[in-house]
Structure 1
Amino acid sequence: MSGINDDGNLTEQITTMNLNKKFLTNDENQKNIEINNMNSFYEPATFIDEQRLEKIKKVFPTIETLFEKEFEKNNFPGLIYGLIVDGQLLNSHSFGYTDLERKIPITTKSLFRIASMTKSFTAMAIIKLRDDGKLRLDDPVYQYIPEL
């Protein structure tokens, strides 16, 4: 595998890879974190830092500013975002309206049409089923949905 060293020179790096294990490196302390199977390799990132929630909460104003700038730049009628950590909604904010004519503001209870986004959700659900061993991607669809 090729890489660039601190001098900016191209170097050859030889790596040995055990296909049953993956390693992640934490930049702060350079310790390898062993991952024993591919299912755990695809888990969402988790952090050991006990103060991480406080650190995350400190960037809420920055996150809000980024979304607000994007909202204004793109002239969206409305936008809402949420930040979920460990399955818990930590922060959310909305901009704009669900109904421009009547000036009804967007809230966390607002409903949206997701249109083509259903394809992404469906694909993610299918991959999750594959990862759980409940289906194979090479199987014919009618095996799982006989009506097709």
Structure 2
Amino acid sequence: MTLRLKGTLLTMLIVLLTIATGCDNSKEVNQAIQAGETYKNVEYTVTYQEDIFSEESILERNKLIKPFLTDEYYSKAELNRYTTLPFLIVQKQQLSLKPENLAFEPLNQPTENTYDLHYTLDFVLFDQDENEVKRVPSKGLLTMMKVDDKWLVQADEPDWKVSAELSQ
């Protein structure tokens, strides 16, 4: 083969590999976003009850949240009571809570195992008849980590100001 033909074939191979890698990254990004969206829906869907901070309720909450978090982040979230932050909102407002209008924006190219996602959502507070009482926009940053072929939350930085306003 001529040098020119070899160069053309090499260029075509590089383009094809770039396209294939881009497709894999897109798949990974979509999987990370889907995992983040599922987590946020579970995290912020809470029905108001007077004894929301009972030991049984907290244990059930932690059991529900744990599969979405890395072991390291779960330990931190449990210790710092991040897992029960939505309970504070529900208790203070005496209303149930659910997220709506979840949207994710990738912030970087994923490395082999981690990916950062900026998210926005609306906290929707509703009464026992499921009538919307209040809607508050919020945002945050999720760091997703791939563990055993599954995307898990490694860190979550919600808008602490909004959370504080709703829980005080």
Q: Which has the higher contact order (CA 8 A, sep 6+)?
A: 2
Which structure: larger Rg?
1
Considering fraction of residues, name the structure with more strand.
2
TM-score by length of structure 2 reads: 0.19
TM-score by length of structure 1 reads: 0.21
Considering fraction of residues, name the structure with more helix.
2
